[in-house]
Structure 1
Amino acid sequence: MYLTLGAGQHNPVPARDKDNQRLLILIRDSYSLSGGVYGYRRVHGDLNEIGEVCGKNRVDRIMQLNRIKAVHGYKAPRRIAGRPSVVAPNRVQRQFTVVRANQVWVTDITYIRTWQGWLYLAVVIDLFARNVVGWSMKPTLSRELALDALMMAVWRRKPDGEVIVHSDQGSQYGSDDWQRFCRANNLDLAPSMSRRGNCQDNAVTESFFSSLKKEVSVQREPY
């Protein structure tokens, strides 16, 4: 049986269309907070984080229909300059749970896009409390960038026992200066390195950098 609509009545909006309109508001919020650099995959990730259950294809379709496109054209700088002169064994082996402070520090470098250009950031994180104990920022990727972050960590923490310092195989972490510092000043810093090309071996710093860049995007700063 069909219902005949009287004068002044309209066809109701389908529930799916209503839900798409609701999702569109959330999609626009995510896209706007990213500074216009998020594509549908990263927008979909934001929706998942706030508990929205929807498919990537649906997000892609809604963005296309509403002409919401990621801004491209920013070429990321080179991440690794050269190869390390020394490669240390992987002492961590993805065991990111420790029982005391200053047992294992993890360190890495990322780049952040600012209004003035690229900025390189090196951090040292203590796995015990997952807090940053040393950092350094420079406009160029240099050996001093990583070493300055480690120096700050040592100065702030003044460890009195062995500390495993885990990094990737970037040339900054295999330099002679880095190795000498790890052996100097009566500090028992034991270098540890991830396998080449395996970011999961240093997942804690990767997670920190991801969160940091999301916070930067909330402030509408480029990265």
Structure 2
Amino acid sequence: MSEARKCPWGAWMREHSNEFQIAVMCRVLQVDKASYYHWIKQGCKLQQVDEKLNELIEIIFMQGRENYGTRRIKDKLVQRYGFIVSRRRIGRIMRELGLVAKTKKRYRINTTNSNHNLPVAPNILNRDFYATYPDEKYVGDITYIPTNEGWLYLATVIDLYSRRIVGWSMDDTMKVSLVNDALNMALIARKPQKGLIWHTDRGSQYASYTHKDLLQQHGIVQSMSRKGNCWDCALNEVRKCPWGAVAESFFHTLKTELIYHEIFETKAQANQAIFEYIEVYYNRQRMHSANGNLSPVEFEEKMMLQVETAA
């Protein structure tokens, strides 16, 4: 919106101040002279609010790494700054500022080798992808990252309570050590009680005896998705599969917000970028709809504060 539309008399008078005397314009327009100079000194309040709003929208958009649309920006404006603004107005401001969210690309990937004779675990989780407290239920999966040096494989461990990435590892191959290292990271950092449910697909890494030994050592209950069941497998599209809505949703987000927009010359470069994305951005800054648009760390801290207050 132009300055003239926001403050018509003040803007017009200032624009023509070299052509007409201020006193004459005030008399003709029936404007108090003191009010005009106060407006010049303080600036148009509405314009100041709009400028602040534009600035906040741009800040939120950039902090969201150019991924946030109007819905998340609106929620952040309310939660963080107390601005109540319609999504339509936010969309208009974004267009005026040239802020366009990154394009979301579809992807489909299969890193699961379930054609093995290793014993598989029953589906203990049974489609219940919500937890009532931290370190009650973890889910794990594997994906791959393209680099100019070849594939880099990423294994993650997600706490279903807050959707936080509590463990992860990267390697050149999809050996058992890849998933064991990711789970060990979570165990060292979180120290979960015995009885933790660990849900994955039927991949050979998760079905291996080495992995099962690690689970038994820490009193972890293993759970695996049913073969070919779209409701609890890790390989179907995010919108069709509640399991995918947790495990693959992170990989989908990682790829559409980072991987698809970068060309990694080396595996080390990809490793550093993914480390920063997980530990700095995703866990601590990125808004998550399952957490009321709080980041996983913010959600855990808020819930912990409520528990302490109640006690």
Indicate the residue corresponding to 1:191 in structure 2. 223
Report the Cα distance in structure 2 between the residues aligned to 1:6 and 1:159, rounded to whole angstroms.
70
Report the Cα distance in structure 2 between the residues aligned to 1:110 and 1:147, rounded to whole angstroms.
15
Larger Rg: 2
Indicate the residue corresponding to 1:94 in structure 2. 129
Q: Are 2:199 and 1:166 equivalent residues in the alignment?
A: yes
Structure 1 residues 27 and 123 mapped into 2: Cα distance closer, same or farther (>3 Å)? same
Indicate the residue corresponding to 1:178 in structure 2. 206
Report the Cα distance in structure 2 between the residues aligned to 1:143 and 1:64, rounded to whole angstroms.
47
Deviation at 1:149, TM superposition (A): 1.5
1:122 corresponds, among 137, 152, 155, to: 155
**SS of residue paired to 2:168:** strand
Q: 2:30 is matched by which residue type in structure 1? A: T
1:107 corresponds, among 117, 120, 140, to: 140
Quick check: 2:130–2:160 contact (8 Å CA) kept in 1? no
Indicate the residue corresponding to 1:68 in structure 2. 99
Structure 1 residues 200 and 135 mapped into 2: Cα distance closer, same or farther (>3 Å)? closer
Q: 1:107 is matched by which residue type in structure 2? A: G
Quick check: 1:120–1:139 contact (8 Å CA) kept in 2? yes
**SS of residue paired to 1:97:** coil
Report the Cα distance in structure 1 between the residues aligned to 2:159 and 2:57, rounded to whole angstroms.
35
Indicate the residue corresponding to 2:53 in structure 1. 23
1:53 corresponds, among 84, 91, 95, to: 84
Quick check: 1:195–1:201 contact (8 Å CA) kept in 2? no
Deviation at 1:26, TM superposition (A): 0.2
**SS of residue paired to 1:68:** coil
Deviation at 1:71, TM superposition (A): 4.6
Gaps of at least 5 residues in structure 2 are: 1-28, 226-230, 234-240, 255-276, 286-311
Which structure dedicates a bigger proportion of its chain to helix? 2
**SS of residue paired to 1:165:** strand
Within a 5 Å distance, the mapping from 1:123-162 to structure 2 comes to 123-125=156-158, 134-138=167-171, 142=174, 144=176, 145-153=178-186, 162=195
Q: 2:232 is matched by which residue type in structure 1? A: R
Structure scoring higher RCO (CA < 8 A, sep ≥ 6) equals 1
Gaps of at least 5 residues in structure 1 are: 168-172
Report the Cα distance in structure 1 between the residues aligned to 2:78 and 2:152, rounded to whole angstroms.
30
Deviation at 1:82, TM superposition (A): 5.3
Quick check: 1:79–1:110 contact (8 Å CA) kept in 2? yes
Deviation at 1:213, TM superposition (A): 5.4
**SS of residue paired to 2:132:** coil
Structure 1 residues 117 and 16 mapped into 2: Cα distance closer, same or farther (>3 Å)? farther
Deviation at 1:20, TM superposition (A): 2.4
Report the Cα distance in structure 1 between the residues aligned to 2:79 and 2:143, rounded to whole angstroms.
23
Report the Cα distance in structure 2 between the residues aligned to 1:55 and 1:15, rounded to whole angstroms.
20
Deviation at 1:130, TM superposition (A): 8.5
Report the Cα distance in structure 2 between the residues aligned to 1:216 and 1:15, rounded to whole angstroms.
35
Equivalent residue pairs, number: 203
Deviation at 1:27, TM superposition (A): 0.9
Q: 1:57 is matched by which residue type in structure 2? A: R
Which structure dedicates a bigger proportion of its chain to strand? 1
- Report % sequence identity: 28
Deviation at 1:78, TM superposition (A): 4.2
Q: 2:31 is matched by which residue type in structure 1? A: L
Residues 30-80 of structure 1, C-alpha deviations (whole Å, 9 max, x = no match): 2233444444344334324314322211110111123233355x8576454
**SS of residue paired to 1:195:** coil
Report the Cα distance in structure 1 between the residues aligned to 2:150 and 2:73, rounded to whole angstroms.
25
1:44 corresponds, among 71, 74, 79, to: 74
Deviation at 1:143, TM superposition (A): 5.9
Quick check: 1:121–1:137 contact (8 Å CA) kept in 2? yes
Give the structure-1-normalised TM-score: 0.59
Deviation at 1:165, TM superposition (A): 0.5
